[in-house]
């Protein structure tokens, strides 16, 4: 009988070293890829774009289960799945916002919840409940962390004799959440998207808990970046607000990845929320083109591509009370003040969203 890898769900095979599912040992519980991720943090075969999201959604739709929709709070915009309800055949849908520990602790959970419900409403997404979680990697069961207790409460409230399926975008923290619920690190997790490859069924006694492969989107930096750049994009510690007070036209470059121009303001506040491993360069807007031309991929690094890319420009007029300019998979700027025109330049293919501020 076909045996599944306990960590990623792939069917184990013993013949082809270069194909997923390979293990040399017939009695192994994990494939060699999982073994290497778990012991050496080394992904031998990247499956970042190798999983078909439509098939995964169809498999989820067929399950008789309530849904825990895991959403990375740092990468909230690209974790949104428009029309998610359509795919779920009326299953109860609870959003689990993860990685709360990466967001500034000056942001209260109340304010964050308000933001999430409003943003979902604006995007036409309706959820039955919300649990905000964080610090699940090392401190899931620490006395101060009630995340897992809250998730269990939500399961008890909505399960109604059904099973439970955990779904969401790749890298959102689904398998980490399952391990925390299980209190065992059975499922393979990694900092690279595309770790879980097939649905994994975990017997919880009263019900089956299904882990699922993450969905991917083509317009996220997480999908487009190579592994070296990925390491720098994904924050590994709490975000520090990078504050800029601007009194004239200015430009901010996030390495060689993206550029923000703020024009026509006499007093503008701009706060960047990006991984601390990324350098932000601030300068006069009139010199920004030359800086980009002459220093792209050297001073301005990392970059998404090796070639000098044509950047796509998005424009927003004014910023209302407070506006977030979000770059999918990368982070966001929060802008307030009397700015007239905002330009954001991103490599072709990368998505941008403008939203009412989260923080």
Ligand X SMILES: Nc1nc2c(ncn2[C@@H]2O[C@H](COP(=O)(O)OP(=O)(O)OP(=O)(O)O)[C@@H](O)[C@H]2O)c(=O)[nH]1
What does the binding site for Mg ion look like in residue numbers (CB under 5 A)?
A: 174-175, 195-196
Nearer Cβ to ligand X, position 66 or 133?
133
Partner whose footprint covers residue 102, from ligand X, Mg ion, none (CB < 5 to 8 Å by kind): ligand X
Q: Residue 136: which of ligand X, Mg ion, none does it interact with, CB under 5 to 8 A by kind?
A: ligand X
Q: Closer to ligand X by CB, 32 or 285: give it.
A: 32
Question: Nearest-5° angle of CA 305, CA 51, CA 17?
Answer: 90
Among Mg ion, ligand X, none, what binds residue 171 when CB lies within 5 to 8 Å by partner kind?
ligand X
**Which residue of the chain is nearest ligand X when measured via CB?**
214
Minimum distance, C-beta of residue 173 to Mg ion, in the bound complex (Å): 8
Read off the tokens for 147: 């995340």
Interaction partner, residue 176 (Mg ion, ligand X, none; CB < 5-8 Å by kind): ligand X
* Binding region for ligand X (CB under 6 A): 98-99, 101-102, 134-137, 170-176, 189-191, 193-196, 213-214
- CA 219 → CA 82, 249, 254, 343, distances in Å? 14, 29, 17, 18
Provide the minimum distance between the beta carbon of 318 and ligand X in the complex, in angstroms, as a whole number: 34
Least CB distance from residue 43 to Mg ion, whole Å?
Answer: 12
- Residue 190 contact, options ligand X, Mg ion, none, Cβ 5-8 Å cut-off depending on partner type: ligand X
- The Cβ-side half-sphere exposure at 333, using a 13 Å CA radius, reads 26
Q: State the minimum distance, in angstroms, from the CB of residue 234 to ligand X.
A: 7
303: left (phi over 0), alpha (psi -120 to 50) or beta: beta
Q: Do the bridges between strand 268-274 and strand 242-246 make them parallel or antiparallel, or are there none, so unpaired?
A: antiparallel
User: Minimum distance between the CB of residue 236 and ligand X, rounded to whole angstroms?
Assistant: 7
C-beta closer to ligand X: residue 6 or 191: 191
The C-alpha atoms of residue 351 and residue 29 are separated, in whole angstroms, by 39
149 binds, among Mg ion, ligand X, none (CB under 5 to 8 A by kind): none
Residue 188: which of 21, 353, 50 has the closest Cα? Answer: 21
Residue 321 carries which DSSP code?
S
Q: Whats the size of the chain, residue-wise?
A: 359
Which of 184-187's residues contact partners 24+ apart within 8 Å by CB, and which partners? Answer: 186/6, 186/7, 187/6, 187/7, 187/8, 187/211
Considering beta carbons, is residue 30 or 345 the nearer one to ligand X?
30
Secondary structure (3-state) at 126 = coil
Residue 68 in tokens: 């825990």
- CA–CA distance, 73 with 126 (Å, rounded to integer): 17
Nearer to Mg ion, 194 or 272 (CB): 194
CA–CA separation, 289 vs 72, rounded Å? 34
Measured from the CB atom, the residue of 238 and 267 that comes closer to ligand X is 238
Q: Work out what residue 135 binds among Mg ion, ligand X, none; the CB cut-off runs from 5 to 8 Å by kind.
A: ligand X
- Residue nearer to Mg ion on the CB measure, 174 or 259: 174
Question: Is 328 within 8 Å of 350 (Cβ atoms)?
Answer: yes
Q: Select 171 or 223, whichever has its Cβ closest to ligand X.
A: 171
Nearest distance, CB of residue 303 and ligand X, angstroms: 23
Does residue 342 contact residue 335 with C-beta atoms inside 8 Å?
yes
- 92's contact among Mg ion, ligand X, none, with CB below 5 to 8 A by partner kind, is none
Residue found by looking up tokens 């997480």 in the block = 222
Q: Closest distance between Mg ion and the C-beta of residue 235, in Å?
A: 19
Residue 135 Cβ vs ligand X, minimum distance, rounded to whole Å: 5
């Amino acid at each position: 009988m076909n045996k599944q890898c306990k960590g990623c769900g792939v069917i184990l095979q013993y013949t082809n070293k270069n194909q997923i599912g390979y293990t040399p040992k017939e009695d192994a519980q994990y494939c060699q890829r999982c073994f290497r991720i778990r012991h050496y943090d080394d992904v031998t075969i990247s499956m970042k774009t190798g999983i078909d999201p439509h098939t995964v959604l169809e498999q989820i739709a067929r399950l008789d289960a309530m849904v825990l929709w895991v959403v990375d709070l740092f990468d909230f915009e690209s974790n949104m799945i428009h029309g998610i309800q359509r795919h779920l055949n009326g299953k109860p849908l609870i959003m689990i916002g993860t990685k709360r520990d990466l967001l500034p602790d000056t942001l209260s959970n109340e304010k964050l919840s308000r933001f999430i419900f409003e943003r979902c409403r604006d995007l036409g997404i309706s959820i039955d409940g919300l649990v905000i979680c964080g610090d699940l990697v090392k401190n899931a069961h620490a006395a101060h962390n009630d995340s897992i207790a809250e998730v269990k409460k939500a399961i008890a409230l909505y399960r109604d004799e059904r099973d439970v399926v955990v779904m969401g975008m790749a890298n959102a923290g689904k398998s980490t959440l399952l391990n925390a619920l299980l209190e065992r690190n059975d499922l393979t997790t990694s900092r690279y998207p595309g770790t879980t490859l097939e649905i994994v069924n975990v017997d919880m006694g009263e019900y089956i808990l299904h882990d699922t492969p993450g969905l991917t989107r083509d317009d996220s930096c997480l999908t487009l970046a190579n592994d070296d750049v990925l390491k720098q994009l994904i924050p590994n510690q709490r975000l520090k607000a990078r504050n800029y007070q601007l009194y004239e036209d200015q430009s901010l470059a996030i390495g060689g990845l993206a550029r923000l121009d703020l024009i026509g303001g006499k007093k503008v506040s701009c706060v960047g929320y990006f991984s601390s491993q990324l350098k932000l360069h601030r300068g006069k807007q009139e010199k920004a083109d030359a800086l980009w031309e002459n220093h792209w991929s050297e001073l301005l690094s990392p970059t998404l591509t090796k070639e000098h890319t044509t950047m796509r420009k998005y424009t927003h007029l004014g910023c209302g009370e407070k506006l977030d300019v979000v770059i999918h998979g990368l982070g966001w700027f929060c802008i307030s003040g009397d700015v007239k025109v905002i330009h954001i330049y991103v490599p072709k293919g990368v998505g941008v969203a403008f939203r009412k501020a989260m923080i």
